[in-house]
């Protein structure tokens, strides 16, 4: 799909691409992942580091052999929040790791977050 967008010039400003390696680190962590800045030959300095923090990583669906997960994370420097989904194998025969087939990178949607109060109805056995 990435080649399609490159070929036809479609640009979506509400998404960003992240490398497969970074996305795997985010899927397996519940904290922060630091992406160290690359060396710039012109300035002879390292670029700025990017710190990504996972704020939600939860199973949201299942298929016959895989579990589907929602992953939401925030870029701490810019405050921009991203969302994507990934699948994991459910048995030892399904060797599917998060983002296994996304060699060219993972397109993540920019999303908004907010706080809200939620009321929960609980129950217990009558004594």
For residue 47, how many C-alpha atoms fall within 13 Å in the half-sphere facing its CB? 11
**Residue 123, SS3?**
coil
Q: How far apart (Å, rounded) are the C-alpha atoms in residues 52 and 24?
A: 12
Please state the pTM of the whole predicted model.
0.76
pLDDT given at position 4: 42
pLDDT given at position 106: 93
Q: Convert the pLDDT of each residue in 32-56 to its tens digit.
A: 888 888 888 888 888 888 899 999 9
**Residue 49, SS3?**
coil
Q: How far apart (Å, rounded) are the C-alpha atoms in residues 66 and 99?
A: 13
**Residue 24, SS3?**
helix
pLDDT given at position 80: 95
Contacts of 94 by beta carbon, 8 Å cutoff, 6+ apart: 65, 66
Q: Convert the pLDDT of each residue in 46-97 to its tens digit.
A: 888 889 999 999 999 998 889 999 999 999 989 999 999 999 988 877 778 8
Q: Convert the pLDDT of each residue in 106-123 to its tens digit.
A: 999 999 988 899 999 999
Q: Is the pLDDT of residue 6 over 80?
A: no
């Amino acid at each position: 799909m990435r080649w399609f967008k490159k070929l036809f010039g479609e640009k979506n400003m509400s998404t960003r691409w992240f490398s497969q390696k970074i996305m795997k680190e985010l899927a397996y962590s519940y904290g922060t992942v630091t992406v160290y800045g690359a060396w710039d030959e012109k300035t002879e300095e390292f670029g700025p580091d990017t710190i990504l923090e996972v704020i939600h990583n939860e199973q949201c669906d299942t298929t016959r052999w895989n579990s589907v997960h929602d992953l939401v994370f925030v870029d701490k420097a810019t405050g921009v929040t991203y969302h994507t989904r990934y699948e994991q194998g459910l048995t030892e025969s399904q060797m599917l790791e998060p983002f296994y087939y996304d060699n060219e990178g993972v397109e993540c949607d920019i999303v908004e977050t907010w706080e809200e109060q939620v009321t929960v109805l609980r129950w217990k056995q009558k004594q």
